Each structure stands twice: as structure tokens, then as C-alpha cells.
Amino acid sequence: MFTLLNGTILFCVCMIFIIPLWNVIITSLAQDQDVIGKVYLLIPKSFTLKSYFQVFRSGYFHSFMVSIIIAVIGTIFSMIITLPAGYALAQKNLVGRKLFMYLILITMVFDVGLVPFYVVVRMYG
């Protein structure tokens, strides 16, 4: 009984996430006249790639690629810095290990946006 109930609940939760994503994909591939109105498309009535070509020709695709490049470079840079630091801090006999750990933990507790947020709140009372 538990397996059946668990499977049913998990199926419903999955559908809550999958159906809207499916609708976005189908809507992006359908023609404009099929999308207009209060119709919820689960099965496409027509198929076109016109919307994708329009996005690729606009400036949005260039901005998207710049964002992807920045994210990839930032991730690589972060891994280059954090992997050796994590290995060094894992050593028990590292001189100043506690100090470095506290400095890293302080940056996690006090977010970068905390000071500007404090200034704005203080300015507006």
C-alpha cells in the first residue's frame, strides 16, 4: 500500500513540474494563432521554428551567450581557487588553519550585499 501511495504522490509531483515545462516547449513550437487565447496546449496543433529563428536573429541570443561564457569562466576560476584552498584547509597541521577557516566563514555569514542594504535602510529610516 505504501509503495502504491508513494508512487502516486511522486507521479503527481512530477506532473506538477513536467506539464508546465511541456506547455512552454509546445507553445514555443506552435504558430501564433494557435497560442492566442486561453488555450492550454498539451498536444501541438501546428509546428514551426519561426520563434527560435527570431530569437537567434535578435540581440537576445548574443546576450545569452555572453552570460553563458561568464558563468563558465566564473565556475572554472572558482574551482581553480577553491580546490587547492579546500585541500590545504583539510590538512590538520596547517599553520593558521583556524584563522583561515574563520576568515572564510565570515565571508559566508556577512554577504556582500549586506553593507549596501544597511546603507539604504538607514538612509530611508
- Are the CB atoms for 28 and 51 separated by under 8 Å? yes
Domain ranges of the chain: 1-57
DSSP string, 55-76: HHHSTHHHHHHHHHHHHHHHHH
Q: Are 25 and 42 in contact (CB under 8 A)?
A: no
In sequence order, the 6+-apart residues with CB closer than 8 A to the CB of 101 are 89
pLDDT in tens, 8-38: 999 999 999 998 899 888 888 888 777 777 6
Q: What is the pTM of this model?
A: 0.52
As a whole number, mean pLDDT of residues 71-94 equals 93
